[in-house]
Amino acid sequence: MKVFKFGGASVKDAAAVKNIAEVLKTAGCNDVFMVVSAMGKTTNALEDVVRLYFENGDFELRISEIQNAHLEIVKCLFETGHPIYDEVLNLFADLNLFLKKNRSPNYDFVYDQTVSFGEMVSTKIVSHYLNLTGIENQWLDVRDLIKTDDSYREAKVDMELSRKNFKKLGKGKFYLTQGFLGSDPNYFTTTLGREGSDYTAAIIAYCTDAESMTIWKDVEGVLNADPRYFENPVLLKNISYQEAIELAYYGASVIHPKTMKPLRQKEIPFFVKSFLNPNGEGTRIENGLKLEPDVPCYILKKNQNLLTLTTLDFSFITEDKISRILNLLHQLKLKVNLMQNSAITLSLCVEDKFIQLDKFIDEVSLGFKIECEKDVSLYTVRNFENKTETAPGDGKELLRQIIKNTLQIIRK
Ligand code: ASP
Ligand code: MG
């Protein structure tokens, strides 16, 4: 079996959905498990619904806007009277009802129950459309297959339980299902973290012992630099699992950090290809491959915070102090992307996805002098050629670190 993943950009409008059928005709869809994300920016829009729900805003209006955007796409793909119209309306009615009847104060729980509708709707539309064009497929609810704990918004997958569920499925078919979702022991919906559909594809590849996994994107493959910030990026043809994990760790947005582990465990080859050019070679990621071409890779991570902690009494930053600080960061789900220490200071580049930074600062300032530079960028060059490299932008350089073949710069 092969696993394919189509992300939000590949289903952003009716033309994009039609294009998927073309990609499948080229790539083949016999014995394939296909994972599909929410359409375009739907997940962001549904995050807005959650926000409105908690602020007692007009979430119903926002839902109806999202519903209309989906119906516009449906109108371009199906004749009136097709059952998809009712299915889409029913899904949004369910979402409305859930939010109206439920008064849960648990933000993360409500978040998962809500944003999951993006994937439910998109997969219904794509599945029906493919069936209409003669690409017969079986729609599956991934929440019946991927089991997780109840850490909403970043659920932890129970691989063995999930694997047993996948084993029950018949072979040689074309299955289509949602990315990013799972269910907890009480069958409530969970999500695997933003952009988690790649991870879903990797979980499925692992659970079905797939022969390969392909992510179809709007770029030719993995590039050595993000074209949004850098000119003339080059396509990386071959990457080892090891290097792919490093690139993901430093923030290369094409590879979701959790994706690599399940693939590596089973040595499943991983391809990144363009849905606009399905015959292109794309990128191949596999065990032991040499980076080709052998070029530096540039990664820019925005929205970072640089914290500088100094002991109050000129005592050394000792292991026990560092371990207490790291523990607190872990508890508050603050992600450290760079760390550097000297005798009395510890510098940390921190990502504040769950809005906990101020809490951290409050607690730590009891024992340390703490300076915080918000909204800085972290620039990483893997395989760098030039030690005097400067980071893009014109803000002040705040910190520089070189470890082996990795150069990192923090810039305001
Ligand atoms: N739709 C989800 C998101 O936008 C999952 C994904 O696209 O991978 O984060
Ligand atoms: Mg996406």
- Our CA dihedral for 35, 37, 39, 44, rounded to 10 degrees, sits at 180
Q: Tokens 């999500």 — which residue?
A: 191
Residue from 6, 36, 43, 44 whose mutation best tests the ligand 1 pocket (most atoms within 8 A of CB) = 43
Q: What ligand 1 atom has the least distance to the C-alpha of 180?
A: 5
CA–chain centroid gap for 3, Å, is 17
User: Which pLDDT score is estimated for 149?
Assistant: 98
**Separation CA 252–CA 234 (nearest Å):** 14
- pLDDT tens-place string over residues 184-237: 999 999 999 999 999 999 999 999 999 999 999 999 999 999 888 888 999 999
pLDDT at 253 > cutoff 80:
no
One CATH from 3.40.190.80, 3.40.1160.10, 3.40.50.1220, 3.10.180.10 for 2-217: 3.40.1160.10
CA distance 253 to 231: 16
Distance CA 198, CA 214 (A): 9
Question: How confident is the model over 251-270, as a mean pLDDT?
Answer: 90
Buried residues in 342-368 as b, exposed as e (16+ CB within 10 A) = eebebbbbbbbeeebbeebbebbeeeb
Closest ligand to residue 38's CA: 1
Which protein residue has the closest C-alpha to ligand 1 atom 6?
195
Residue 229 confidence (pLDDT): 86
Spatial distance between the Cα atoms of 189 and 181, rounded to a whole number of angstroms: 7
Average pLDDT of every residue of the chain = 95
| Cβ atoms of residues 70 and 78 within 8 Å | no
Domain segments of the chain as ranges: 2-217, 297-411
371 vs 86: CA distance, rounded Å: 55
> Which ligand has the minimum distance to the alpha carbon of residue 116?
1
Q: How far is the CA of 196 from the centre of ligand 2 (A)?
A: 8
Minimum-distance ligand 1 atom for the alpha carbon of 200: 8
Question: Model confidence at 256, in pLDDT bands (50, 70, 90)?
Answer: confident
Query: How many whole angstroms from 69 Cα to the centroid of ligand 1?
Result: 17
Decide if domain 297-411 falls under CATH 3.30.2130.10: yes
* Integer Cα distance of 313 and 106 in angstroms: 41
CA-based nearest residue to 299, from 338, 339, 268, 333: 338
Q: CA-CA distances (angstroms) from residue 256 to 141, 205, 246, 389? A: 22, 15, 11, 26
Write out pLDDT tens, residues 48-60: 999 999 999 999 9
pLDDT confidence of residue 62: 98
- Model pTM? 0.88
Angle at which helices 59-77 and 107-132 cross, to 10°: 10
Q: How far apart are CA 113 and CA 247, in angstroms?
A: 32
- 77-91, 107-121, 242-256, 319-333: lowest mean pLDDT where? 242-256
Ligand 1 pocket mutation, candidates 36, 41, 195, 254, criterion most atoms within 8 A of CB: 195
Q: For residue 254, what pLDDT band results from cuts at 50, 70 and 90?
A: confident
Average pLDDT over residues 247-264: 87
Asked whether 197 lines ligand 1 (CB < 6 A), one says yes
Backbone angles phi, psi at 347, to 5 degrees: -105, 135
Give 92's pLDDT tier (boundaries 50, 70, 90). Answer: very high
